[in-house]
A and B are shown apart, each in its own frame.
Chain A
Amino acid sequence: MSSPNRRTSQHNAPIAHLKANDFKNASQAALQDAPLRRALSRATDTFKQRRLGALEEVDDWEALRTHGRAIKDETLSRLDHHLLRFVDQATARGTQVHFAATREEACTWIADLAERLDVKTVVKSKSMTTEEIGLNAALEERDLHPVETDLGEWIIQLADETPSHIIVPAIHKSRESVAKLFEERLGAEPDLDAIRLTQLAREILRGSYLEAELGVSGINFAIAETGSFLVLENEGNARLTTSLPRVHVAIMGIEKLLPRWADLETFLRLLPRSGTGQHLTSYQSIFTGPKRNPEDEGPEEVHVLILDNGRSKILDDDVTRETLACIRCGACLNACPVYAQVGGHAYGSVYPGPIGAILTPQLAGSKEAVPLPGASSLCGACRDVCPVKIDIPRILLHQRNEVTRKLPMHAPFERLAMKAFARMACAPGLWHRSLALARPFLRFAAGSSLPSRALRCMIPPLAAWSKKRSLPGPARHSFRQRYQRKNS
């Protein structure tokens, strides 16, 4: 595995810790990492099975997906209107709403707030958006002490790594390596089992919740109609993060909105089933403003920070706009044959897998993530499992097209070859004659006595291609020839 070290933060890139252009080396390293691949295949297989089990209970899953997508399309097509409504409604109920155009603005705003409140410890529940903006590194630079409280996130924070899965961030780590980490960093007894490790996390993090005066959470869905927002989880760390500290800050991308309170029903049926294969996660919290008289419990101040960071650019493109319908369930990661082999870190982005392959280049710019649109076999499994029917393969193709057009270094040979191929493939007569001519040569090159032997090309541009792929030599007669003979 290439080192997924957090300290490589690039200050100017729109996504923190971005190393997507290293995909080729990182994925090759991952393929050599047997324990990683075992962990990945076990995790992705388990989630796939659980998801299928959870779908069976729903009467009409397809209709539910269509409905979810319709709500997202409705939201995105009038996002300005819904956002303003959210701001008005949330403000009317005592929530303070703020905007950040970039990740620096978002980090600065949160750090400024922490300083104004004079807090040192900031507890955080799991949020991909805070990973995207690199909040922890930014807070540390200002001498603040952020503490991740989701068990997986806490593990990778202790290990100084980045998440490798949207839902289970430490999926790449074995129980042994977590035990070793706890031993080294926390002075734990050696070789603890998962139950003891979890208990230890509970004990230590309880202190952090009670000490922290600022809690930061993400947002799964925000409601324009009431200015409310919902957070889903299994551990209870988000409930603690948003209940114990005096101030609660929730951060979301502009696309997290739903128009109506009633829309939650559809997404509560879609998200847990797609993500972890649960019919519902253990906890959902729907927040509408700070505590009201006569409540003793809950935060005195609630802030929502709305982040753009490149999303409005995605909204501006008719082809890729649907990327913003994503509800971050992680189903496409589990379904993807490429993700299952190389894992999340190979993508060099906090957003890995199929959704990461389309989202990362759009947020960061295609030059920052050249290989990612190619990191797919276009099998379409991601599209089939997506709870909001995002056509990821279509967007991948669109992005490959963009990359090829923008980066002329690939161009001369490939373009010429593709043009020649297109010409041939469009003329049936020419196509058959060329194939008939090429067949004996290709058979000779592959070693005609051994039909299983693969073609290997030594000529430079093709050599690079055939080094990693086997192209079997052609059969003596084509299918068409055999079909015609049989029917004549």
Chain B
Amino acid sequence: MNHEAANKARATVMDSIKQALRNVRATQSAPPQIPGRPKPMDSVKDLTHAFRTRLESVGGQVHLVPDACGARNLLRTLVEENDWQEIAVTDGPLVAQATDELDATTFEGSKDLDRLACCSMGITGVQHAIAETGTLVLFSHAEAHRLTSLLPPVHIALVDQSQIVLDLGEALSIAHKVDGGEPPPLVTFITGPSRTADIELTMVTGVHGPRELIVILIAPDSL
């Protein structure tokens, strides 16, 4: 469609809408109080517990560790147990700390797509986590985890307890202005592994994204 045709389509559609609404009075704005929000939680411990319960209920695995050193040890054990050879990592701050003593090759997932498509596991940080829904919140401007959290069959996410917020509203309101007063190009919410039930409602994980989602949660207040 050329430029003229495009303008014409826009004019046609907008005119039809204006015409349709010629006798319609604007209804009032929806009230600002949003119903359905969870009850506030007082402590980091409660938030951690809620997040963990929720994520586990949809098949995510959550491991609590006391500190960065604990995260590093756990990661080393997981890598050994599963015999993961090629591991994609991101530039996230927690990731560098946790992966510096691994018995496997690591590479930056966002820089090498071919390698990323064949590797055994991807490790990323997250920007926030949501207690209400057991959700990981990823901002694309903050860390290059768009594909590292998606292409490998296993996604390990490193989370600090201070990143957990109460509910969807809180996470959305942070995302709204986080990139210099703007939303980032991509906000991703992840709640559990990739799943489908398209064949006779049989639940199968790992259809297009990761088959396993493992969260290593640094949570000194919950141990």
- Do A and B truly interact? yes
Bound form: Cα–Cα A71–B27 in Å: 9
Residue pair A175, B199 in contact (C-beta under 8 Å) = yes
A348 surroundings in chain B (CB, below 8 A): none
| Contacts known (A67-B30, A235-B208); A282 close to B35, Cβ less than 8 A | no
Which of B31, B135, B207 has the most chain A CB atoms inside 10 A of its CB? Answer: B207
Shortest Cβ distance from residue A191 to the other chain B in the assembled complex, whole angstroms: 13
Question: Which positions in A face B, CB cutoff 8 Å?
Answer: 39, 42-43, 46, 58-61, 63-64, 66-67, 70-71, 73-74, 77-80, 83-84, 93, 98-101, 105, 108-109, 112, 149-152, 155, 168-171, 173-175, 178, 194-195, 197-199, 201-202, 205-206, 210, 226, 228, 234-237, 239-240, 243-244, 254, 259, 261-266, 268-269, 276, 278-292, 295-298, 306, 308, 312-313, 315-316, 318, 321
Chain B, 29-64, CB within 8 A of any chain A CB:
29-31, 34-38, 54, 58
Closest to B188 in A: A285
Q: How far is the CA of A43 from the CA of B183 in the complex (A)?
A: 38
Query: B38: which A residues are within 8 A, CB to CB?
Result: 59
Of B12, B27, B150, B202, the residue contacting A77 (CB under 8 A) is: B27
The 3 closest A-B pairs by CB, nearest first: A236-B209, A312-B16, A152-B198
The 8 Å CB contact of A59, one of B30, B35, B150, B175, is B35
Return chain A residues, CB-CB under 8 Å to B31: 67, 70
The reply to whether B201 and A296 contact each other, CB–CB distance below 8 Å, is no
Report B-chain residues with C-beta under 8 Å of the C-beta of A316: 19-20
Main secondary structure of the interface of B (DSSP, over half): loop
CB neighbours (8 Å) of B54 from chain A are: 279
A64 to B35, CA, bound (A): 5
- Tell me, yes or no, whether B173 is within 8 Å of chain A by CB: yes
Tell me if B147 is interfacial: C-beta within 8 Å of chain A.
Answer: yes
**B window 110-136: CB within 8 A of A:** 110-111, 113, 117, 133, 135
Q: List 5 A-B contacts (CB under 8 A).
A: A98-B6, A263-B30, A287-B186, A295-B140, A316-B20
Q: How far is the CA of A243 from the CA of B116 in the complex (A)?
A: 14
Cβ A60 vs Cβ B183 within 8 A:
no
Contact B30 A240 (CB under 8 A): no
Stretch with Cβ within 8 A of A (4 or more), from B79-87, B94-102, B189-197, B215-223: B189-197
Give the distance in Å from the alpha carbon of A168 to the alpha carbon of B201 in the complex.
9
Q: Provided the pairs A178-B199, A202-B208, A228-B183 are in contact, do residues A312 and B20 lie with their beta carbons within 8 angstroms?
A: yes
User: Inside 8 A of B16's CB, which chain A residues have their CB?
Assistant: 101, 308, 312-313
* Contact flag A77-B24 (CB < 8 Å), given A194-B200, A262-B172, A282-B191: yes
Known: A77-B27, A315-B21. A235 touches B188 (CB 8 A): no
Q: Is the pair A99, B13 in contact by a Cβ cutoff of 8 Å?
A: yes
Inter-chain contacts of B169 with A (CB < 8 A)? 262, 265
B168 near A269 (CB under 8 angstroms)? yes
Q: A203 CA to B176 CA in the complex, in Å?
A: 36
For chain B, the count of residues having a C-beta within 8 Å of the partner chain is 76
Q: Closest residue of chain A to B189, judged by CB?
A: A284
B13 touches A282 (CB 8 A): no
Is the pair A195, B204 in contact by a Cβ cutoff of 8 Å? yes
Q: Which residue of chain A lies nearest to B12 when distances are taken between CB atoms in the complex?
A: A101
Task: List the B side residues contacting A155 at CB < 8 Å.
Answer: 198-199
Could you tell me the distance between the alpha carbons of A198 and B188 in the complex, rounded to whole angstroms? 24
Task: Report chain B residues within 8 Å CB of A269.
Answer: 36, 168
> Given A236-B209, A287-B186, A298-B140, A194–B14 Cβ distance below 8 Å?
no
- Chain B min CB distance to A305 (Å): 10
Contact partner of B14 among A83, A195, A268, CB < 8 A? A83
Q: Choose among A254, A276, A282 the residue that contacts B190 (Cβ–Cβ < 8 A).
A: A282
For the complex formed, measure the closest distance between the CB of A329 and the CB atoms of chain B, giving whole angstroms: 16
Extra contacts, 6 of them, besides A283-B190, A285-B189 (Cβ < 8 A), are A59-B36, A152-B196, A168-B198, A235-B209, A264-B172, A292-B185
Residues B128-176 near A (CB distance < 8 A): 133, 135, 140-141, 144, 146-147, 150-151, 167-169, 172-173, 175-176
Contact of B208 among A73, A170, A205, A284 (CB under 8 A): A205
- Judging by beta carbons under 8 Å apart, are A286 and B175 in contact? yes
Q: Which of B17, B185, B198, B209 is within 8 Å of A315, CB to CB?
A: B17
Query: In the assembly, what is the distance between CA of A295 and CA of B204, in Å?
Result: 32
Closest to B15 in A: A312
B68 sits at the interface (CB 8 A): no
For the complex formed, measure the closest distance between the CB of B125 and the CB atoms of chain A, giving whole angstroms: 15
Choose from A63, A173, A281 the contact partner of B36 (Cβ within 8 Å): A63
Say yes or no: B13 contacts A308, CB within 8 Å.
Answer: yes
Contact B200 A174 (CB under 8 A): yes
Partner of A262, one of B14, B146, B176: B176
Which chain B residue lies CB-closest to A198? B204
Contacts of A150 in B (CB 8 A): 198
Are the C-beta atoms of A101 and B9 separated by less than 8 Å?
yes
- CB < 8 Å neighbour of A297 from B19, B25, B34, B147: B147
Query: Chain B contacts of A262 at CB under 8 A?
Result: 34, 169, 172-173, 176
Q: Which residues of B contact A297 (CB under 8 A)?
A: 110, 140, 144, 146-147
Least CB distance from A57 to B in Å reads 9
Give the complex CA separation of A264 and B167 in angstroms: 12
Complex-state Cα separation, A63 to B36, whole angstroms: 8
Contact partner of B196 (CB less than 8 A), chosen from A171, A198, A226, is: A198
List B contacts of A178 (CB < 8 A): 199
Residues of A within 8 A of B192 (CB): 282
Chain B residues with CB below 8 A from A112, complex form: 1
